[in-house]
Amino acid sequence: MKSLGNVRAGLMLLVVLSLAVGQTPQPQPTTLPIGSATIAEVKGDVSIRSPEGAALGAQRGSLLPAETTIETVKGSVVLDLQDGSQVLVKANSKVVLKAPSEDKGFYLELMIGKIIAKVQKRLQNAPSFRMGTPTAVITVRGTRFSVEVNKKQRTLVEVFEGLVEVQSLQLPGPPVLLRPGFETGVGRDRTPEQPRQFDEGPGSAFEREGNGPGQYGGEREGSGQSRPGGETEKEPH
């Protein structure tokens, strides 16, 4: 009788444990908040401030919410954005993360300096990737490109892959469409310049990051051949 009681007690314990396991919440897949980014890589002197202005540690794997300000001095940082895109922020740059569902509809704003972006390709009905500068709005649906802003707030956009739409932030007018190998500039109170070719050179922009600050652009007025840059292509809206 004693052994039978032990068996019954054992069965009851198994039932209780089974019910407890069934009620344990299962881990849910994590999703990043809209407009946020994580630090994939950081080198050198990088300053990060929260939306409230508090200093944050620039560490690999850190989650940065929308409205975070990133300033690189003699360093650089690679950001993984919430939509799957990747942005390399080069030295002497200032970037503010943005929630694309709010305000201007940007994923980020480049205030000064240079970034190189790999934008995740969009499905047909997915919204385009948009970013801003003090003088331009850049819209893409999946591509590789660079954006540079100098001290005079002039914006230079170069395209390595896909199509990029560039328009003035301050003046109305039709956008300029850039194909791979073309660039355009947008100054203060100016519309985008006529697209012109540039020499990208071997390798991708990310692969050539160590080749010096002038490798991907800068003030190269008059360089390249002046010719249309694909204005008849389908717009990336």
Q: How do 46-49 and 37-43 pair as beta strands?
A: unpaired
With respect to residue 42, please indicate whether it lies within any of the assigned structural domains.
yes
Which CATH number belongs to the domain containing residue 71 in this structure?
Answer: 2.60.120.1440
Q: Say which residue the tokens 């943005």 belong to.
A: 98
Can you read off the two tokens belonging to residue 202? Answer: 């071997």
Q: What is the pLDDT of residue 230?
A: 41
Residue 84 backbone class (left: φ over 0; alpha: ψ -120 to 50; beta: rest): left
With respect to residue 8, please indicate whether it lies within any of the assigned structural domains.
no
The whole-number average pLDDT for the span 11-35 is 54
The whole-number average pLDDT for the span 109-136 is 91
Domain span at 135? 34-208
pLDDT-based confidence at residue 29 (cuts at 50, 70, 90): very low
With respect to residue 237, please indicate whether it lies within any of the assigned structural domains.
no
The whole-number average pLDDT for the span 136-154 is 94
The whole-angstrom separation of Cα 32 and Cα 24 is 24
* Residue 107 burial class via C-beta count within 10 angstroms: exposed 0-12, middle 13-18, buried 19 and up: buried
Q: What is the pLDDT of residue 123?
A: 77
With respect to residue 218, please indicate whether it lies within any of the assigned structural domains.
no
Task: Evaluate if residue 214 carries a pLDDT over 50.
Answer: no
With respect to residue 69, please indicate whether it lies within any of the assigned structural domains.
yes
The whole-number average pLDDT for the span 68-72 is 97
**Mean per-residue pLDDT over the chain, rounded:** 79
Nearest to residue 148, comparing CAs of 205, 202, 99?
Answer: 205
Provide the number of structural domains found in the chain. Answer: 1
